[in-house]
Structure 1
Amino acid sequence: MSATPSRRDPDRRRALLEAADTVILREGPEASMASIAAEAGVSKPILYRHFGDKSGLYQTLAERHSRVLIEAIRAAMLRDAGMRERVHDGIDTYLAMISANLHFYRFLMHRARAEDTATHSVMSTVMQSLGDEIAEILPTEPGPAGAARAQVWAHAIVGMVQNAGDWWLDHPEVARAAVVESLTDLVLGGLTARRAVV
């Protein structure tokens, strides 16, 4: 059983998280607990004492960084603008942030998520919450059927943009603006087609 994470020294805990950030930004998915401990100037047991174990550190990092990402996307999509502008800016915000934090994105979404079930759960919950929020702003017919359709669309959009973003990160020769426009056209085209037959 994991030890209870120590919260007696929040400044030390914050410093350890900043050390983890530094190592992950430098080394990407290959970042190790030993490297993080060395960067922080502590032993691995002390590092684990603050987070319980490796899983605890992964979860804390996932929650910390996914919150920043989601808040930025939420701000873009909930601003006072037309639907196309909000969809466009939400997608652009997501792609801009994952490309600017490429090592961190790959560490959390690929390495940590793959090897730690709790981190996988954290990231899945984040994406689920984002889908729920997008469903609230999608235009659809009233009633339970319309609400269900909005949920289907919203979660499909989240999955589509995430997978397209993963592809784009491996194809940097493609301009971000082109990817954003293509995804926006795809999303808005589907919504327009749906409204046309309602």
Structure 2
Amino acid sequence: MTGKERREQLLDIGRGLFAERGFDGTSVEEIAAKAGVSKPVVYEHFGGKEGLYAVVVDREMERLLASVTRALTDGVHYRDKLEQAALALLEYIEECSDGFRILVRDSHGAAGTGSFASLLSEIAHRVEHILGREFDHHGYDDKFAPMYAQMIVGMVAFTGQWWLEARKPKREEVAAHLVNLAWNGLSRLEPKPYLDPKRRRKEREKLEKRAEKAAAKAERRGRKSDDEAPEPGWAPQQAESPGPA
């Protein structure tokens, strides 16, 4: 095994142990034993457990940040960007569960990059620019964009932590419902949110037609009631009371 291959082996083993037991619950002896090497080999490559952990955390943070950033830069519509970013996080959770478990433990001081909170702040900073442009486009005050970015990223991150264990429903459905809430708010939730813009547009058109039919029906009922109503000032004549016999 080459030095590069040994290094990758140690990183894979360390990643699994850190995810399962945390930094404090993992020892150099355990890492070396699982790799089939002596402790000095671990020190030779990473200088100790702290160095190995720092590399693991840095790699995971870079991987997740790159994935979310790529999603935010792809697509044209702002909703599409948010959907793809939410889906990117859920894909990372599903495919790199060990890495996400390490990150959400609020990374140990040995990690050079910092904590999960700092990673979320970086993602929120990138979302902030997207929201700022959207706010300007609609005439809203863009000074609130940073606050809304924190809200959206926090909502996605906490949902991701829940979904890490729940794993139901499917990630596409979770992402669709996340953005449904973020985009529409509770008062305008879509009954069946979809990630597919074409499918979503068809569903919206269907709902609009249904609403138009309901409005037309109500209008017809209103006209019918007006036609049947007595004219103003008209009142049914009452029969005269018979006089005294």
| TM-score of the alignment, normalized to the shorter chain, above 0.5 | yes
Partners of 2:18 and 2:55 in 1: CA distance: 19
Counterpart in the other structure of 1:88: 83
Q: Structure 2 residue aligned with 1:30, among 18, 21, 25?
A: 21
Q: Which moved more, 1:26-35 or 1:146-155?
A: 26-35
Structure whose CA Rg is larger:
2
Instruction: Quote how far apart the aligned CAs of 1:37 are.
Output: 2.2
What is the percent sequence identity of the aligned residues? 26
Cα deviation 1:1-36 (Å, max 9, x = unaligned): xxxxxxxxxx73663244322453488423733343
Counterpart in the other structure of 1:117: 109
Question: Which amino acid is the alignment partner of residue 117 of structure 1?
Answer: G
Partners of 1:146 and 1:169 in 2: CA distance: 36
Cα deviation 1:86-107 (Å, max 9, x = unaligned): 1111100110111111122213
Measured on the aligned residues, the alpha-carbon RMSD in Å equals 2.9
Task: Confirm whether residue 43 of structure 1 aligns to residue 34 of structure 2.
Answer: no
Instruction: Quote how far apart the aligned CAs of 1:175 are.
Output: 2.1
Counterpart in the other structure of 1:185: 180
Partners of 1:29 and 1:102 in 2: CA distance: 11
Give yes or no for contact 1:63–1:122 (8 Å, CA) kept in 2.
no
TM-score, length basis structure 2: 0.61
Question: Which amino acid is the alignment partner of residue 117 of structure 2?
Answer: S
The answer for unaligned runs of 5 or more in structure 2 is 189-245
Instruction: Quote how far apart the aligned CAs of 1:164 are.
Output: 0.4
Counterpart in the other structure of 1:15: 6
Partners of 1:73 and 1:96 in 2: CA distance: 10
Question: Which consecutive segments of 4 or more residues in structure 1 shift more than 6 A?
Answer: none
TM-score, length basis structure 1: 0.74
Q: Structure 1 residue aligned with 2:152, among 157, 160, 165?
A: 157
Give yes or no for contact 2:104–2:116 (8 Å, CA) kept in 1.
yes
Q: Which moved more, 1:58-67 or 1:88-97?
A: 58-67
